Amino acid sequence: MLFFKKKETHPDQKKRNRIAILGQDKEQCDMLEKNVREGLMKFYMEVPIARVTDPAEIREYGVTREPALLYIDRIISEGKVLERNEVMNLIANS
């Protein structure tokens, strides 16, 4: 006998929370990822952050300047290492 129903995950949950850092410059991408993680902590969100370094895949997203930040299958920033507050504002308004 079950007293608690298993928590169901929305089918689009992974897509809804998808975040990726696109770029080949490890130092810039590491800094951006750190700031994204710190920004997400303010929202109490723990979301896996993917890394895309393959130039062909980066071009598929239409990115022209690196590093870029992808949130829910949309590029929300290009060519800049965002500060934590900038990340929070972009995610809150996306």
**Pairwise CA distance, residues 80 & 32, whole Å:** 8
Q: Specify the pLDDT at position 46.
A: 80
Task: Tell me the domain boundaries of the chain.
Answer: 15-92
Mean pLDDT split into 10-residue runs, the chain, 94 residues:
44 60 97 93 84 95 95 93 93 83
Q: Specify the pLDDT at position 8.
A: 42
What is the third-level CATH fold of 15-92? Answer: Glutaredoxin (3.40.30)
Q: Specify the pLDDT at position 73.
A: 84
Q: Specify the pLDDT at position 17.
A: 54
**Pairwise CA distance, residues 82 & 88, whole Å:** 10
State pTM to two decimals.
0.78
